[in-house]
Amino acid sequence: MKTIGVITSGGDSPGMNAAIRAVVRSAIYHGLKVYGIERGYEGLINGDIQEMNVASVSDIIQRGGTILRTARSEDFMTSGGFQRAVDMLANFEIEGLVVIGGDGSLRGALKLSQEGVTIMGLPGTIDNDLGFTDFTIGFDTAVNTVLSSVGNIRDTSSSHGRSTVVEVMGRNCGDIALYAGLAGGAEYILIPEKEVDINALCRKIVQGKNRGKLHSIIIRAEGVEMDSNELASLISQRTGLETKVVVLGYTQRGGSPTARDRLLASKMGYRAVELLKADSASRAIGIRGIQVVDYNMVEAMAMKRSLNTELLELADILSI
Ligand code: ATP
């Protein structure tokens, strides 16, 4: 292996830059030529490809977003577009490609691997919805962003004695809600993996109020079936308490990555290049406990995520 590429695809996540930096610097350390592909698979199809050097990744470890930019690509999903992507990699003699992205991006990467390109898949998404890793790059920062907003919301909710439904991201995965809810002391956490029990929710709010609680914070993951406004009006109706909705939205995607995300990205980026240097077949890189791990791409993408029920129970106990 002499020449590799690095690409970010799908939704951006804080820590992608730290991963790009790790890939580029590790590649140079190992004597590999490294190209940066801009705007995800869309840029690959268009040949938006530049050689990178040590300085190309200076001063980015602390920055959110991705210097390579990212995109979603309809064209890549067509056979013509996909073939152009494969051809473009061949034009630049890119033998190994590090793909940093979420589930969709890595499914695309798996297809590239089936065309003979060696792929190293890095989990880059705030959603934490991939089965082959305990944590994805960007998740910890997103949780901390939610926490900071919850702190502000708590102040104003206390002053007015109201309940607030805080809607957080995560697609069909409840992890941002669960981790931020537990760490932020939310009164109730609603996640798509568990059915909404509106009676229990309202009972908890009323019991809290009777004990002198000034506010209630309900964290709802975006994938929960009952939408935030419907939920807030039900709570108001059934508890008599004013209930507001705050949708945190894209603030969760940005910001400087936490130390944890930078470390995760650096370790994973380095592992990807080590594997490429060793002429490994395609792998997906994750973390289990504190160990960086790598799996066969096909097996990794078939792994199912399971809900951390212990954390959910803990959150329930601590928010009596
Ligand atoms: P996030 O989790 O942050 O949304 P993602 O990587 O899951 O990120 P997607 O929009 O699902 O984001 O995927 C990014 C791109 O990957 C798509 O625009 C498409 O080009 C490609 N892609 C997605 N799914 C597939 C698939 N099943 N096969 C081939 N390519 C795919």
**CB distance 250 to ligand 1 below 6 Å:** no
Residue closest by Cα to atom 2 of ligand 1:
102
Query: Tens of pLDDT along 124-138?
Result: 999 999 999 999 999
For residue 126, the ligand 1 atom closest to its alpha carbon is 3
**Alpha carbon nearest to ligand 1 atom 27, residue:** 107
Pick from 72, 110, 141 the residue to mutate for probing ligand 1's pocket: most ligand atoms within 8 Å of its CB: 72
Domain contains 320:
no
Indicate whether 26 and 37 sit together in one domain: yes
> In whole numbers, what is the pLDDT of the chain averaged over residues?
96
CB of 103 closer than 6 angstroms to any ligand 1 atom:
yes
116, 261: one domain: yes
Which residues, 6 or more positions from 214, have their beta carbon under 8 angstroms from its beta carbon? 157, 158, 161
Residue nearest to atom 28 of ligand 1 (CA): 108
222 in the same domain as 291: no
Q: By mean pLDDT, which of 141-150, 155-164, 289-298 is the weakest?
A: 155-164
pTM (2 decimals)? 0.97
> Which residue numbers are catalytic?
127
Answer yes or no: is 313 within a domain.
Answer: no
The amino acid present at 254, given as its one-letter code, is: G
> What pLDDT, in 10s, does the model give residues 53-97?
999 999 999 999 999 999 999 999 999 999 999 999 999 999 999
195-212 pLDDT tens trace: 999 999 999 999 988 988
Q: Is the separation of the CB atoms in 222 and 169 below 8 Å? A: yes
Question: Which of helix, strand or coil describes residue 219?
Answer: strand
Check which CATH number belongs to the domain holding 247 and give it: 3.40.50.460
CA distance 128 to 117: 26
Contact criterion met (CB below 8 Å) for 213 and 186: no
The answer as to whether 315 is a domain residue is no
Mean pLDDT of 142-162: 91
Task: Give me ligand 1 centre to Cα 69, in Å.
Answer: 15
Does 309 map to a domain? no
Predicted confidence at residue 185, as pLDDT, reads: 93
pLDDT given for residue 127 in this prediction? 97
CA distances from 5 to 92, 148, 151 (A): 9, 36, 41
Domain co-membership, 8 together with 87: yes
Into how many domains does the chain fold? Answer: 2
What distance in angstroms lies between residue 209's CA and the mean position of ligand 1's atoms?
44
Residue in this structure with the two tokens 């698979």, named with its chain if needed: 41
Q: Say yes or no: CB of residue 104 within 6 Å of ligand 1.
A: yes
User: Is residue 38 within 8 Å of 74, Cβ to Cβ?
Assistant: no
Ligand 1 contact, 185 CB (< 6 A): no
Q: Is 135 in the pocket of ligand 1 (CB under 6 A)?
A: no
Which CATH number covers residue 39? 3.40.50.450
Question: Domain range holding 222?
Answer: 140-253
| Helix H or strand E encompassing 168 | strand 163-168
Q: Whose CA is nearest to atom 24 of ligand 1?
A: 104
Ligand 1 pocket, 10 CB below 6 A? yes
